[in-house]
Amino acid sequence: MIVDLLRHGEPEGGQRYRGHGCDDPLSPRGWAQMEQAVKGEAGWQYVVSSPMQRCRAFAERFAAGQDLPLSLAQDLREVGFGDWEGRTRVELQRDRPEEYRAFYADPVHARPAGAEPLADFRRRVETGFEAALRPLEAERVLLVVHAGVIRALVGWVMGVPDARLFQLECDYASRTRLHRHPTRGWRLIHANRV
């Protein structure tokens, strides 16, 4: 099985910490990014999406246009950022510089207030990923998800510790490909391809 992980495009309001409590729709630019990301691609047999509207709206339109089945996977929503949700990096660097630096120095232990623990998030994503794919009889699946979900899945496949997850770049509308080998399990084919 080949699974393409497609990050959503740019949402309304630009770049900010959205997590799963702040769910802005895609901007016109975000829609264009998503359409470009799948242009000329074929062969997907199934689409799975996060239920967040910045993923779901494109997944619904794409699946309908390609006459593909679609399912929403609640556990593939973005990591919760607690008090940081809806805030930009610039705002956090200005208003909470020590908290911001601490998070990037130690994202496991210096979580924003109310944020989802990384270990819990990773378990949720891994379980949700396997549950979403288990019933599918498909060789190629498109998952429309978030940067955090992609980082968690790449981290799972590659055995990357929680503290290193944020070192994986994941641009808007980028694609990451995983392949489930019959004897060697999941393998990373490429990451962050725009």
User: Are the CB atoms for 65 and 47 separated by under 8 Å?
Assistant: no
Expressed as residue numbers, the domain containing 189 is: 2-193
Tens of pLDDT along 139-155? 999 999 999 999 999 99
Predicted local confidence at residue 49, as pLDDT = 98
pTM > 0.75? yes
Tens of pLDDT along 68-104? 999 999 999 999 999 999 999 999 999 999 999 999 9
> Sign of dihedral through CA atoms 41, 25, 64, 59?
positive
Tens of pLDDT along 13-59? 989 999 988 899 999 999 999 999 999 998 999 999 999 999 999 99
The CA distance from 12 to 6, in Å, is 18
Tens of pLDDT along 160-183? 999 999 899 999 999 999 999 989
Q: What is the domain-level CATH number for residue 168?
A: 3.40.50.1240
Number of domains within the chain: 1
In the sheet with 140-145, reading across from the earlier edge strand, the strands are 70-72, 46-49, 140-145, 2-7, 175-181, 185-193
Pairing of strands 140-145, 70-72: unpaired
